Every structure is written in C-alpha cells, then in structure tokens.
Amino acid sequence: MGLSFDLLINAVIAGILLGGFYTAVTIGVSISFGILDIVNIAHPAFIILGSYIAYIVNARLGIDPIAVSIIMLPVFYLLGAGVYQVYYESFERRGQESLRGLSFFFGLLFVTEVMLILVFGVDYRYVEAPYIGPSWRLGVMDFPLRMLVPCITALALFAALELFLSYTFIGRAIAAVAQDQLALRLMGASPVRIKRIAFGISIATASVAGALLIIIQPVEPSVGREYIGRVFAICVLGGLGSLPGTVIGAMLLGILESFTATFYGPSWAPAVAFGVLLLTLAFRPAGLLGR
Amino acid sequence: MRTRVFLLLLIAVAIVVFFAARLVSNDYVFFAGYTVLQFVVLATAWNILGGYTGYVNFGSAAFFALGAYATVFMHKLYPLPLPLLIVIGAAVSGIVGLGMGYLTLRLRGAFFAIATLALAVVLQTLVVNWDFVGGSRGAYIIRPNEIALIGPYIQYLFLLMLALAVIALAIARGIERSQLGYGFATIRDDELAAEASGVPTLRLKLIATTLSGALMGMAGAPFPYYIGYLQPSSAFGLEYAVNSIAMPMIGGTTSWVGPLIGAILLGSLQQIATVTISSAVNLLIVGLLLVGFVIIAPNGIVGLVQGWIRGAK
C-alpha cells in the first residue's frame, strides 16, 4: 500500500492548497451573497477580468501578477461600488431583486465573457512568474509553488478581511447591515453607503482571485463558468455570512475535488461542487458554521 | 371555450406560416425558421416558471441538452419515430426539473437559481464522460433526406417545431387563465402571504418547474436531427440559457405574448446578425439588450406598449 499512501497524502496536500485558492475565489461572494444578500452570480466574470488584467500587465511589463492585482484593488473597488449603485437604484430600491436583479447579474456575466472573447479570442492565456514551475519536496510530500503561493496569498486576504470586519467601525457596520438596518441607521450610518462599500470590497477581492487563478491555470474567457457552482457550493457549505466557514468549506471542497481527480480522473472534478451544493441544501441548508 | 378558440386560432396561424414558408422555394427559410421557433418554445417554457412564479432558471441549456441527449441515447438503442422521442425528451427533462425543484425550492429562491446554473456544468461533465452518447467527441445522427407526405426532412422538422410552439403557447395561455395561473401569481407577488392563505406553494412551484423543464426538453429532442452532429458544447451552448432569459425579459414576462414577441424579434435579429456579422457580436447584442431592458424597461416591450396606450388615452 506504499504507493497509495503517497498518493493519498499528496491528494490531501493538493486539496488543501486548492482549497486555499478557492477561499480567495469565494470570499467576495461570501460578502456579497452571505452578508449583503446580493446574489452576485457575475462574480466569476470579475475574477476572469482580474486574470486578464494580470495577464496584460505581466506580458507587457513583466510585473508579478499578484503585485498587479494589489495595485488594481482600488479600480475593482470602484467598479464594484458602481455596479452596486446601478443594482440599488434599479432593483433593490424597487424590491425587484429576485427576478430582474438576478437577470441583471446574469447579463453582466455574459456580456463580460463575450467582450473578453471578442478582444482576446478563446486562446488560453498564462502569466510568467518565478514561482511557477518549481516545487518544494518534504519527504514524499510535494508542494508545487504555483499552488502554495496562491494558497498563502488567499489566506492572507482572508485574515485581512476578517480583521477588518471584526475591528473597524465600517467592518462592524457591514456585519450590522445584514442583521438590523434600522438600528444601523440610528447609529448614524447609511445602510446603502455601507452596502456600497461592502460590495466594492467584495469585487476588489476578485482582482486578487483573478491573479491567483491565472497563476494556477491558463485562462480563457469561459473558464469563469466552472467557478459559479464551486463558489456557491463553498458559500452554502461553510454557512452564509461566515468567513471562517468559507475557508473550511473551501478546504473541504478542495480536498474532495482533489480526491475525485486523483482516483476517478480530473474530468469528473466539476461535478463534485454540484453534488456538495445539492447535498448541503437537502440536509443542512444553514451550512457548517451557519447562523 | 375561449381557450379552445385560441388553440384553433394558433393552429390556423401555424398552418398559414407553414404554407407561406413553402411558397419561398428555399430551404434556408426552414432552417432559420426552425431556430426561431425553437426559441419561441424555450422562451415560453422559461416564462412559465420565471415570469409566472418569479423563480429564475439559468439552466435552460441543461434542460434543452437533456432532451437532445435523450434522443441520441434512444437513437443508439432503438430507432423510434421523432414525435415519440420528443415525448421521451420531455419526460426526462421534466423529471430532472422536478428533482431539482424538490431539492432547492423549499429554500430561498436564490438557491434554485444557483443550482440551475451549476446543473448545466454538471450535466455537461456527465455527457463528456459518457462514451455511449458520444462523449466529448460528439455523436452523429444521420438525417433522412425525405419523409413521406411532407417531402424534405427539414420541412418535417420545421413542422414539428411549429407544433411544439403551438403546444407551448396554448399551455402558457391556458395557465394564465386558470386557477393554476392565479396560484403562480400569488407566489410571484408575495410567497409568504400566499403560503399563509393556504396556497400550496411548494406543489405549485414543482408543477411549474416540471412543466417548464419538460417543454425545454421537447425543444431539445429534435435538435440532433436538425444539426446532424451533436457535440456537448453545442447542446449546452450558453446562447440557449441567455436567450431563453433575454427573450421573455425583453418581450415582457407577465403574459404569453411577451416571450413570443421577444423570441421572434431576437431570434430573427440573430439569424440576420449571424449571417452578416459574427456570432460572438450577436450574443453580445443579446446580453446588452438583456441588461438594458431589465434596468430601463422592467416590463419589457409589452409593458412599454401598455404604458404608451395608457399615456395616449
């Protein structure tokens, strides 16, 4: 059984590293869907946008993709704030978010994808960085750096957001928006402004997630679609509105997918998220750390 | 009675459309017309769930592809006449719709939408890995050249899709004027209040998903014969998901007329745009129209016209 033990332990490691990356992909949705109750299904499209920006700057100027994504954070924040403003004016204020709001985000997802196809074509794009390729070995354990670096970056992003939400006034106001908007108003904070800030932050995380994505795998415009199921499965599994829950959900899904890929073949991996999503909804809709 | 009159009227219009198309001695009319009619069925089916009950289905492509792959599966197993295959496609998609609805519709509406979005990815994974129906390489279906009584096979396909469009529209209008329709409307307007007043909301929602899914499966069942070579990427094409949302949204979601108008307008526009410009550009147009309409004209073209009539008075 020596062979399968190596295989097993490396499948677990690969799963944890993948789960770390999934944290970055999901954390934005965890804020928008989990806390703000905005079903932003276009989030993967913003991630792909982040990938392409990282790709362009990396290809032209040779700057590290993660550095690019951090420089781009304010731009994505403004983009998110703008999208929220349109969403609020057109749907949320009129109480039409369920049907038309969802269609709006679906339209955004679609338009972004088609525009990227028109500009860049459907070729796979990739970035270059020193940590793509080499790998650390610890006995039989294998840590490919192209997975390890995104995993650590994602966990740093999670830690920063968790600290921000727990210890700053705006961060706590964001948590309050989900619980009691009237009380928030009485505290002198406008719920719309707070939600705009929170949504801006959630889209800003897509910039980082996009850079991590293109480090991990080559990207073409329709790759984002594969992440819709994953992102929401993780969100629901971890428990809506809980960032630590998101990390746990992401790790679990990462490990499950890694096992599936190792023992049944990588082409089955996309189906895992859907199974997890349906099973969670059927047996524990509140998720692992749900309220 | 009035429903029966409406059905007869629809059939009469369908007959006129068919013979008018035959007058143009060019098979392209049938190929293009088939696609437009297919969108009429898909848009109407989507609207039965989305427009009437307010639950968004992003997985139209999945239900459509289920119908198409049910045909491929049966074709490999035993050759059956096409109308029977359509019934089988409807049954398969309807059952999947029921199952999905049962698992997700007891919770918030957003979960259903998300699950449908993921469904397409999963079913595509399943089909790609399933060699019997062609796997990722795709499957060939040899289309007969002629069929008795009608002539060219494409005219037969066109006629079948015309019949499906008539069925879908008749069902949609029938629902609107029945108790079922009022039940759906209460769910759309205030589900909690409906539940409290004793409307069996879960049962009604399941009826809507099953019906809607079955109609989409029907639309997909003849597709392998139409295209001749079915690939997962063409059956699960995003254009089906987008169009079946965009068409009712642009036409108007509150009545059967909206999806019909939306499908004919957008469907024809895309037929022209695909020939003259590229297919990517024409999908971009559909996406932009969808976003624009949901923001600016929430009740679609029908809503605009109604507002205009009311304003003129």
pLDDT tens figures, A18-43: 999 999 999 999 999 988 888 898 99
CB-CB under 8 Å, A100 with B294: yes
pLDDT at A242: 86
CB-CB under 8 Å, A228 with B245: no
Pick the residue from chain B with its C-alpha nearest to A87.
Answer: B295
Give burial (CB, 10 Å; 0-12/13-18/19+) of B311.
Answer: exposed
List, in sequence order, every beta strand (DSSP E) within chain B.
139-140, 146-147, 151-152, 229-230
Residue B276: what residue type? Answer: T
Answer for the pair B247, B203: CB distance below 8 angstroms, yes or no: no
Strand partners for A141: A138
**B129 domain-assigned:** yes
| pLDDT at residue B58 tops 80 | yes
**B7 domain-assigned:** yes
**B71 domain-assigned:** yes
Tokens of A163: 């600290």
Q: Which of A117-121, B123-127, B142-146, B294-298 has the lowest mean pLDDT?
A: B142-146
Strand partners for B152: B146
Provide, rounded to the nearest whole percent, the portion of chain B with pLDDT above 90.
Answer: 32
Whole-complex ipTM: 0.85
CB-CB under 8 Å, A222 with B238: yes
Among residues A67, A68, A79, A65, the alpha carbon closest in space to that of A218 is found at A65
Q: Residue B63 sits in which domain range?
A: 2-167+176-237
CA distance A48 to A225: 10
pLDDT digits (tens, 9 = 90+) for B225-284: 898 888 888 888 888 888 999 999 999 888 899 999 999 999 988 888 877 777 778 888
Among residues B175, B161, B174, the alpha carbon closest in space to that of B86 is found at B161
User: Which residue in B46, B52, B55, B56 has the most chain A C-beta atoms within 10 A of its own C-beta, making it the best mutation to test that interface?
Assistant: B56
| pLDDT at residue B25 tops 90 | no
**B304 domain-assigned:** no
| pLDDT at residue A182 tops 80 | no
Provide, rounded to the nearest whole percent, the portion of chain B with pLDDT above 70.
Answer: 99
Provide, rounded to the nearest whole percent, the portion of chain A with pLDDT above 90.
Answer: 47
pLDDT band at A1; cut points 50, 70, 90 = very low
Give 3-state DSSP helix, strand, coil % of chain B, rounded to 5.
80, 5, 15
**B230 domain-assigned:** yes
Stronger pLDDT, A251 or A94, i.e. the higher one: A251
Residue A52: what residue type? Answer: Y
pLDDT at A181: 76
pLDDT at B119: 84
Q: How many domains does chain B have?
A: 1
Q: Under an 8 Å CB criterion, which residues of A touch B? A: 33, 39, 41, 86, 90-91, 94, 96, 98-100, 102-104, 106-108, 110-111, 113-115, 117-118, 222, 225-226, 228-229, 232-233, 236, 265, 267-268, 270-271, 273-275, 277-278, 281-282, 285
What Rg do the C-alpha atoms of chain A give, in angstroms?
Answer: 19
Residue B82 CB neighbours (<10 A): 16
Q: Over chain A, what is the mean pLDDT?
A: 88
Q: How far apart are the first and last CA of chain A?
A: 42
Answer for the pair B313, B261: CB distance below 8 angstroms, yes or no: no
Domain ranges of chain A: 2-283
CB-CB under 8 Å, A236 with B56: no
